[in-house]
Amino acid sequence: MPRGLVTLATNQGTVAQRTQLTIAQRPILTALGLREPPKFYDFTPTAGGE
């Protein structure tokens, strides 16, 4: 299954959410001393939000 960033858009606005890390990605982040990235990257409400 592809992994990455998914952007969802509605009449209320948009949200960008990443998929879960793969089993292979976790040890890479650990080896680099990096924390898991945030699940949500962006919330952008629509002006007026109807």
Q: What is the DSSP string of 14-32?
A: EEEEEPPPPTTHHHHHHHH
Kindly tell me the sign of the dihedral angle through the C-alpha atoms of 12, 9, 7, 2: positive
Return the pLDDT at 41: 83
Domain ranges (residues) in the chain: 5-45
8-39 as b/e: b if 16+ CB within 10 A:
eeeeeeebeeeeeeeeeeeeeeeeeeeeeeee
Return the pLDDT at 9: 92
Question: What is the spatial distance between Cα 50 and Cα 43, in angstroms, rounded to a whole number?
Answer: 16
Prediction pTM value: 0.59
Q: With cut-offs at 50, 70 and 90, classify the pLDDT of residue 1.
A: very low
Tokens coding 35? 């924390």
Residues 18-30 pLDDT 10s: 988 899 999 999 9
Residues 4-47 pLDDT 10s: 888 999 999 999 999 888 999 999 999 999 999 889 888 899 88
